[in-house]
Amino acid sequence: MTGSIPLLRNRFVRAVIVSTFFSQIGIWVRNFAVLLYVMEVTGGDPFAVAMISVAEYAPIFIFSFIGGALADRWRPKKTMVWCEALSSLSVLLVFAVLEVGTWQALFGATLFASTLSQFAQPSGMKLFKHHVRDEDAPSCMSFMQTLTSAFMVLGPILGTFVYQQCGIEVSILLTGICFMLSALALNHVPRDPLPYRNPEINSASLFSDMADGIRFVVANPFILQLTLSFTFVGLGVGLVSPLSVFLVTEQLGLPSEALQWINVSYGAGEIVGGVATMALAAKISPQRFLMAGLLVNGCGIVLAGLSTEIWLTMIAQFIIALLQPAIFVGSSTLIMQQTTHDYIGRVMGIRTPLMTGAMLLMMSVAGALKNTFTLSAVYVCAGCFFFAGLLIIVPLSVWSEHRG
């Protein structure tokens, strides 16, 4: 934790923390307001509820790689500020449309904001690369992950409270205000470096840039194996995400309401893990962080799938969440350290849809696999995906530390 205090003197880090704080409030209020409102208006229509997820995930496959390639061309600060500002304006436009009764516009707002994030996220990584030293990257990443982890616990509570107390109009208006405050915070990030990219390079084919990004990933063993490892993580996460309620009803023989106790232990693990990661980030290499996270998550998932006692299941969920920040901090730090500034956008644009696609693929077949085999077998399989991701990076980690 002490290693993060000097980092707060960095103007860029302070601006990004404030921006992330407001952005997270806006995202969680919007997500839960949209979900609860759509369920209320449609009477819980499964198709309408599913369309919310489509609006959130579809842009990842359509725009992630394109957004990453364009992020390598554009000025990152300006890109992030405009993305947050446009998200705010789109939400405020939806607020006006809601006043005349067209609730379907909520899908458009979610789709538009998700699309903009495919341009903003790789630009954010480029800014990290430019403004944060490699040795400070783990502390900075862990600080941001701790903030995100806290919102994963508090966000659903906040979003539900705002909607129930204030309704959809105020929820959407608050979302727009939060995105605008996020854009204003990002405006305090130091100027983009000049010169940035030669106009002649920017006039080159976008598809050539994208192909060049693929060649960079394939030619770089470190980046390639990290990408493959995270794809396996996506397979494991997707396999168990839809099945947690069955741990309670089938494995433990309890009513579905008992799921809240598992979620409480998971949320506590997220917060404790985020703080612990932040405290240890400057002392443990990102390779070891990533390896420990994959190993413990795999074991925790297997334990959760085999447990028949609620206290043991709660412990399993706690240790899964405890080391989850280590996975994302370790992976993001290594990506930032091992990728040159000109390719960060495209590397992120390749990794994100691969992981998300793997996750959604497994989510779509998880129910069928559970019915074909057993819940325990599915959880053991998910744990094995994490172990496979670990095995992929072990030789890479040994090589890297030996080289260092």
Model confidence pLDDT, tens digit, residues 73-99: 888 888 888 888 888 888 777 777 776
Q: What is the pLDDT of residue 296?
A: 94
Cα separation of 173 and 185, whole Å?
A: 19
d(CA 291, CA 359): 20
Report pLDDT for 200.
46
**Mean pLDDT value across the chain:** 82
Between CA 274 and CA 357 the distance in angstroms is: 26
Q: What is the pLDDT of residue 235?
A: 94
Cα–Cα distance measured from residue 376 to residue 302, given in angstroms and rounded to the nearest whole number? 8
Least confident piece of the model among 7-11, 325-329, 388-392: 7-11
**44 falls in which pLDDT band (50, 70, 90)?**
low
| Residues 266-292 pLDDT 10s | 888 888 888 888 788 778 888 888 999
> CATH assignment of 1-190, given 3.50.50.60, 1.20.1250.20, 1.10.3720.10, 3.10.20.30?
1.20.1250.20
| 50-59, 167-176, 209-218: least confident range | 50-59
> Are both 1-190 and 201-404 of the same fold?
yes
| DSSP result, 148-174 | HHHHHHHHHHHHHHHHHHHHHHHHHHH
| Per-residue pLDDT reduced to its tens digit, 223-256 | 898 899 989 999 999 898 888 888 888 888 888 7
H or E, element range at 356: helix 344-372
Q: Are 136 and 7 in contact (CB under 8 A)?
A: yes
Looking at residue 192, what is its pLDDT? 67
- Per-residue pLDDT, averaged over 307-328, amounts to 91
Encoded amino acid at 169, one letter: E
User: In the predicted model, is pLDDT for residue 163 greater than 60?
Assistant: yes
pLDDT tens by residue, 102-132: 667 777 777 888 888 888 888 888 888 778 7
Residue among 296, 13, 303 at smallest CA distance from 136: 13
The residue-averaged pLDDT of 204-226 equals 83
- What does the alpha-carbon distance between residue 254 and residue 245 come to, in Å, rounded to a whole number? 10
Does residue 371 have a pLDDT over 60?
yes
**340: exposed, middle or buried (Cβ count in 10 Å: 0-12, 13-18, 19+):** exposed
- For the domain covering 201-404, report its CATH number: 1.20.1250.20
Does position 218 have pLDDT exceeding 90, yes or no? Answer: no
Give the percent of the chain with pLDDT over 70: 90
Residue that wins the pLDDT comparison between 195 and 269: 269
- CB distance 254 to 380 below 8 Å: no
> What pLDDT is attached to residue 198?
46
pTM of the model: 0.80
Asked whether the predicted pLDDT for residue 402 surpasses 70, the reply is: no
Which residue ranges make up each domain of the chain?
1-190, 201-404
